[in-house]
Structure 1
Amino acid sequence: MESEPNPQTMASDRASMSAFWEMVDAILGGAETMRAAGPIYLPKFENETTKDYEERRKTAPFTNIYADISRDLSAKPFSKQLVVGEGASQNIAGKIDDGKRSDGFVDNVDGRGNNLHVFAADSYKAGIDYGLDWILVDYPKATTDRALTQAEEVQRGLRPYWVHVRAKRVLAAYSDFVNGKEILVHVRLDETTTVRQDFEEKTFERVRVIDRLPIRGLDDVVTGYEPATWTIYEKQKVANSDREQWVAIEEGTYTIGVIPLVPFIPGDRIGTSFAVRPPLKDIAYAQVEEFQQESNLKAIKNLTAFPMLVGEGVQASDENGTKIVVPVGPRAVLLPGTNASGENATFKFIEPAATSLTFLEESLAKHRKQMRELGMQPLTETNITVITSANVSRKAGSVSESWAIKFQDMLEQCFVLTSMWLKEAPSAEALVHTDFTVDLDGASQLDSLLKAQAQGVLSKETVQSEFKRRGVVSDEFDPAVEKKRLEQDQLSAVPAIDPVTGLPVQPLTRPQKV
């Protein structure tokens, strides 16, 4: 008997990423999740008892350098407010009436009150950590069988919204090239959900399947694809049986025709699949190594920190053959007595050499330094050409800047889909901060700019624009307004002239007491 189709089946490229994504989840979860993973990331020593290993595992220290590096790199594009360009429509950017600005789509992109800056920062960090992230540009399903007019949609408060889809939720994604452009043709999303039922909760396993059926021409050649449709499947028990099956519980059509899902891939994509090389992959593996070294160092410290008591010529058991337990500690008194030969027994302490501790501590410190250096590499200046979806080449000053440029391109693709839902021409340009090179060594650069102006190499206006670029002055800084202020300051600094004497009028001063 053939097995029934299972929409929960993972594509091979998705399955190949599972182990790495689980490792990143454990690292970002901190000491608790790394310890819970057990021998996956903290191997058991040879001949180590289960009891000793469990004690070592439960108390293993964990210094999360990866999380620091990831957080710092992910924050770079958002050190300045993420906004849209001036050409964005009123639906996207909001509008101004009587001097008051009303909210637009960018003020609540996900329907949960998160603005564009907050929503995008979450997606960008996920892409840096996992190497892949997705945004679904969805639209509420109409409650009527007929298509609503735009006025009816506005009246009902229907609007597009963005959904952050973690890479782990995308069970499968397949694409094809049509007229030189890559499009998604089949996607399966894990939409398992937990709902409240009275005072309890119930979890439903669900998968959303999004399809575009091929249009075939002569010789069965694919010439295009039908508009996108979606179906939600739910795993349900078959009546009077222990067997389960997937049942379609809801379906519909994306009226904009395409699959409104956009990937963000900061790292390298492997071929045309959606398997990727995450940008921080080496640092993630180095973090696991750090965890193991730090745990080993603590274990060896425990073994070498306490001296061992040795009894020479001391009977191990009494006259009845009972094993003698020797107390150790400041409140204990040892009476060695004599051995069988009549010689005095002795006690002494021996302490293991701690030279290995120095080696391990130095090795751990060196490893942590190397991790920090790896984390700085994406910020170092280089020369990278980034190709966007519009086939426009852009230069990036560093690897991290190339990530931000790719992210900006992804956001603009999302705005195109949003405009399609709004039935208007695409207009929004995402203004993502990508100029990271000015953030490094800022003090020396400012000094060089001032010297260049003093030597006549650069104009005052150029230096002012560079100061604005580096965040020394606010984004509202206006060179024309500043010029008027400087002229006013100069006028107020010139003393008034006495018309009779022709001499500068000295400011009045209070007489000094003698």
Structure 2
Amino acid sequence: MSNDPSKTLPAVDAMREDWALVDALMGGTKAMQLAGKVYLPKWPKEDDDAYKERLGLSTLLPAFSETVQNMKGRVFAEHIALGEDVPETIKAYAQNFDRQGNNLQVWAQQLFTVGLSHGLCHVLADYPKTKDEQGNSVVRTAADEKAAGVRPYAVMIHPQQVIGWHTEEKGGECSLSQFWYAEAVEERAGDFGVTVIPQIRVLIPGGWRVYRKTEDANGKKEWTKTDEGTNTLPTIPLATYYTKRTGFMTATPPLLELAHLNKKHWQSQSDQDNILHVARVPMLMISGIDDDAFELKVGTSSATKLPTGGDMKWVEHTGAAIEAGRKSLEDLEDQMRIAGAKLLQKDKQSTKTATQAEEEAAQEMSPLQTMAGQLEDTLDQVLQFFALWKGEKEGGHVKVNGNFDVDFAPETTLPLLLNMATQGRLSDETLFNEYKRRGVVSDDIEWEVEKQKIADQGPALGAL
């Protein structure tokens, strides 16, 4: 039993263990270097200065982060389409979905990136406060609402912000009864400064509370409720985007194995760089000589006279370990490439349910396609919460049109498409759209407009 809102649930602690590696890999070389011995262990008998130098020279192959970015590019190959069932009032919000200037397309890409890298991400459909400090309403009419810019908007809650949640059973379903997370707000400090204040926001159906750390008369700091409010919604307006769900409000990163391979490559690359540094500097070996018996001269314009029985030579690395290290790195890179590509492999199950047998398309969906469908569902939920805030019955639906083909090389597919169109087996419009989907034609060009331009310019020279 705990009354400390900052104490995380065990389920959150378990997920954070995986997120730590994911955050470091997404942060690149600098973040991995800051993690230090966590992901680059110190060698036995290696002194601190030598370790710091080795750590500072280590560089990360960004296989994990680039895979996430590449998959994001595939999912958002085309703009998100708002369905005809989306009310006009809500369609207008798509141009500034989070009230921070990000349209739905840009904002959804951020949501997908976090969801893919961490396994899940949360979205709060929030609404600005409409009452002043005295509890008086500042928005009474639709005109007041428009003038004040009061409207629902999306707040992305990173999984690392989440502290915990409570559930209850309603109508035979698991329902969210409380959700709390950490956030930071900036308050003005003088003419040019700002003060960042950490706080915890607690959401409940029909209301919310804010806790901040305060200091009592004895100097003891504790979390104290500093603000609260109510709203008209019967539920917590929170939508969760899952990419690899393990339970209610829990998930695991779908690319976790790739993350571990990338960590191993980081360590192996550091070893390889170090052995190359050592191998490139030959050592001078002297035997059979008393060091005090002669003056040692080393250089292209000098020579050293050795006494009888003395020997001096350069000792160099054979290179066998270097070649083995290089091969090991190449093998790791191949393994990472395969691990990332698995998101595009369609799932052909040997045993199918009755529903799956009826839906052939579902049988051949790749994990990335499934994630795109889950993204659609999450965005639909957010729009529905917007509708609840606005008193609308339905928020409508969106369509995510991505590219989920394994072989999508334009240099091989474009000649084939052109040949099909020339033989009359593919329409000009479909050919145009396929060129557009592959990035050969700008997304800003529409078929109807281009079709009219082609007609206006007359027949091509080859057709005369």
Give the TM-score normalised by the residue count of structure 1. 0.77
Equivalent residue for 1:256, pick from 230, 233, 237: 233
Equivalent residue number for residue 508 of structure 1: none
Equivalent residue number for residue 120 of structure 2: 132
Q: Does the alignment pair 1:270 with 2:246?
A: yes
Q: Does the alignment pair 1:423 with 2:391?
A: yes
Equivalent residue for 1:118, pick from 101, 106, 122: 106
**Structure 2 unpaired stretches of 5+:** 354-358
Task: Name the aligned partner's letter for residue 370 of structure 2.
Answer: S
1:483–1:196: structure 2 CA closer, same or farther, 3 Å change rule? closer
1:453–1:256: structure 2 CA closer, same or farther, 3 Å change rule? same
Equivalent residue number for residue 199 of structure 2: 206
Equivalent residue number for residue 13 of structure 2: 15
Shift of 1:208: 0.7
Task: Name the aligned partner's letter for residue 195 of structure 2.
Answer: K
Q: Does the alignment pair 1:234 with 2:212?
A: yes
Shift of 1:450: 6.2
**Structure 1 unpaired stretches of 5+:** 94-103, 212-226, 319-323, 387-391, 495-514
Shift of 1:114: 1.0
Taking the aligned partners of 2:127 and 2:194, their CA distance within structure 1 comes to 27
Q: Does the alignment pair 1:298 with 2:273?
A: yes
1:349–1:155: structure 2 CA closer, same or farther, 3 Å change rule? closer
SS, match of residue 189 in structure 1: strand
Q: Does the alignment pair 1:436 with 2:404?
A: yes
Deviations 1:450-498 (A, max 9, x none): 6667778x56489559747845776732499679949x859x979xxxx
Taking the aligned partners of 1:325 and 1:124, their CA distance within structure 2 comes to 69
Equivalent residue number for residue 254 of structure 2: 279
Find the structure with the greater CA-based Rg: 1
Taking the aligned partners of 2:303 and 2:195, their CA distance within structure 1 comes to 64
Q: How does 1:300-449 map to 2 (within 5 A)?
A: 300-317=275-292, 328-330=298-300, 334-336=304-306, 338=307, 343=308, 345-382=310-347, 395=362, 397-437=365-405, 440-441=408-409
SS, match of residue 270 in structure 1: strand
1:134–1:150: structure 2 CA closer, same or farther, 3 Å change rule? farther
Shift of 1:371: 0.8
Q: Does the alignment pair 1:197 with 2:178?
A: no
Equivalent residue number for residue 174 of structure 1: 166
Taking the aligned partners of 1:493 and 1:357, their CA distance within structure 2 comes to 62
Shift of 1:24: 1.5
Higher relative contact order (CA 8 A, sep 6+): 2
Taking the aligned partners of 1:286 and 1:204, their CA distance within structure 2 comes to 38
Equivalent residue for 1:185, pick from 177, 195, 198: 177
Mean Cα deviation higher: 34-43 or 440-449: 440-449
Shift of 1:146: 5.3
Shift of 1:64: 1.4
Equivalent residue for 1:154, pick from 138, 141, 146: 146
1:4–1:489: structure 2 CA closer, same or farther, 3 Å change rule? closer
Q: Is the 8 Å Cα contact of residues 185 and 198 (structure 2) preserved in structure 1? A: yes
Equivalent residue number for residue 222 of structure 1: none
1:36–1:461: structure 2 CA closer, same or farther, 3 Å change rule? closer
1:446–1:56: structure 2 CA closer, same or farther, 3 Å change rule? closer
1:301–1:452: structure 2 CA closer, same or farther, 3 Å change rule? closer
Q: Is the 8 Å Cα contact of residues 83 and 116 (structure 1) preserved in structure 2? A: no
Q: Is the 8 Å Cα contact of residues 191 and 208 (structure 1) preserved in structure 2? A: yes
Taking the aligned partners of 1:51 and 1:452, their CA distance within structure 2 comes to 65
Shift of 1:154: 2.8
Equivalent residue number for residue 26 of structure 1: 24
Taking the aligned partners of 1:417 and 1:393, their CA distance within structure 2 comes to 32
Deviations 1:254-281 (A, max 9, x none): 31221111111111x2233x23121111
Count, aligned residues: 447
Equivalent residue for 2:64, pick from 63, 66, 73: 66
Shift of 1:134: 1.0
Taking the aligned partners of 2:209 and 2:98, their CA distance within structure 1 comes to 22
Deviations 1:314-366 (A, max 9, x none): 22347xxxxx9956554765354x4xxxx363422122321111111011012
Taking the aligned partners of 2:295 and 2:198, their CA distance within structure 1 comes to 60
Q: How does 1:37-52 map to 2 (within 5 A)?
A: 37-52=35-50
Shift of 1:77: 1.8
Give the TM-score normalised by the residue count of structure 2. 0.85
Task: Name the aligned partner's letter for residue 352 of structure 1.
Answer: H
Shift of 1:411: 0.3
SS, match of residue 74 in structure 1: helix
SS, match of residue 136 in structure 1: strand
